[in-house]
Amino acid sequence: MTHVFVAPHPDDVALSCGGLIASLRELGQMVTIVTVFSGNTPDDGTGLTQYQREALGFGSKTMWPATEAFNRSSILADFPEAALVPSWAAGEARLEATQLDADAAAKRFWQRSSWYRRASIRNESLAGQAVIDEVPTQGAVLTDEVMDAAEAGDLMARRRVEDERFAYFAEASIVFLDLPDAVFRGYAGDDQLLASPRADDVAPYALLREEIARLEPQKVYLPLGVGGHVDHQLCRDVGLALLAEGRRWVMPGPDYGDMVVFYEDFPYSYWNDFRGLEDLGPDVFAALPGDLSLAPSYADITDQLERKITGISLYESQIERLFDDPRAMAEATRAYGRAMAELGGVSGSAERYWVTGRV
């Protein structure tokens, strides 16, 4: 199965769904994170840096873990985190061994020809061909452009680097839509950021729906909007719009009524002592089609809790703002996991999701 997790910002999915993602990957299921508001300027055709433009649409840092060293996805990252390198990432020794095998195979293939074409598994140009990092929509994680922007003080670039590191750690694919964050769309202060979205600030339904359809998932996870941040609300509205599409009988598309899942926005749900959908207010799900229901489902993350905490700790720029320090973050994550487990009758730790279904 393929699971798509929609993150309003870098860190939201790690905070809210890190345990489930770890469980899914342990089972061998595919996970893609779509980070929506990862840009820092309006997309008016000017003012965007290269690292922002490169991820519009598909995103140029999509990376699937694989076992074959011949696959570019398996080559060690240009800026590897030593403690986070997975077992399948090929270093120089493994690459050289595979290169020798590839050369031998290519020589056998061309042995009846009057010339020999060398096979290169590295990111090197042969016969003037473009290397993979120069091809739009492809490339390795943590490229020079993003690292340079982060080191130069670009805060959104730093958050994006953290998001890529988490995806690498979680062995997930990641896509950046790079829409501008709410603070770059005219929202100022908590009174505006935690209120209803402006009438002229519409949910990115078309763009996000296109990306979800391209990924062909069996489950799509979107935020509930606990805490009221406008970007979280807009992503939730996309989920509701998908549910409003209903079944399609002519040239059928996906039936989102069986696919859409809403996750609780941690740590906002922890701070606000969120108990159920009624805490969001009576109008949030008023547009939910009458033949659909939302029911709580509890994911047992007992075995993955510490891995979730490690994943959250990769977002160094956000720890102090959200929790004061890493110890407080770990304590809050464990406490919330215990609270959800108690509600769901799970022994240990859990994350709660709200699953849609036909009635």
- What region, left, alpha or beta, does residue 93 occupy, with left being phi > 0 and alpha being psi -120 to 50 degrees? alpha
**β-pair partners for 32:** 4, 173
- Is residue 314 in some structural domain? yes
- Is residue 76 in some structural domain? no
Domain residues for the domain of 45 are 2-63+174-358
Domain of 327: which CATH number? 3.40.50.10320
- For 95, which DSSP code? H
The DSSP-derived string for 233-274 is HHHHHHHHHHHHT----SS----GGGTEEEE--TTHHHHTT-
> What are phi and psi for residue 48, nearest 5 degrees?
-90, 135
pLDDT in tens, 260-316: 999 999 999 999 999 999 999 888 988 888 888 899 999 999 999 999 999 999 998
- Is residue 146 in some structural domain? no
**CA–CA distance from 106 to each of 67, 69, 147, 162 (Å)?**
21, 16, 36, 39
- Is residue 158 in some structural domain? no
CB within 8 Å of 113: residues ≥ 6 apart: none
pLDDT of 101: 75
- Is residue 185 in some structural domain? yes
Helix H segments across the chain? 12-26, 50-53, 92-109, 144-151, 155-170, 190-193, 205-215, 230-244, 268-271, 305-313, 316-323, 326-344
- For 129, which DSSP code? P
pLDDT in tens, 156-197: 788 888 898 898 889 888 888 889 988 888 888 888 989 999
Domains contained in the chain, number: 1
pLDDT in tens, 56-100: 322 333 333 333 333 444 555 555 555 566 666 666 777 777 777
Listed ranges 2-16, 79-93, 106-120, 311-325; the one with the highest mean pLDDT = 2-16
pLDDT of 221: 98
- pTM to 2 decimal places: 0.76
- Is residue 189 in some structural domain? yes
- Is residue 272 in some structural domain? yes
Tokens of 208: 């996000």
- Decide: residue 147, CB within 10 A, 0-12 exposed, 13-18 middle, 19+ buried: middle
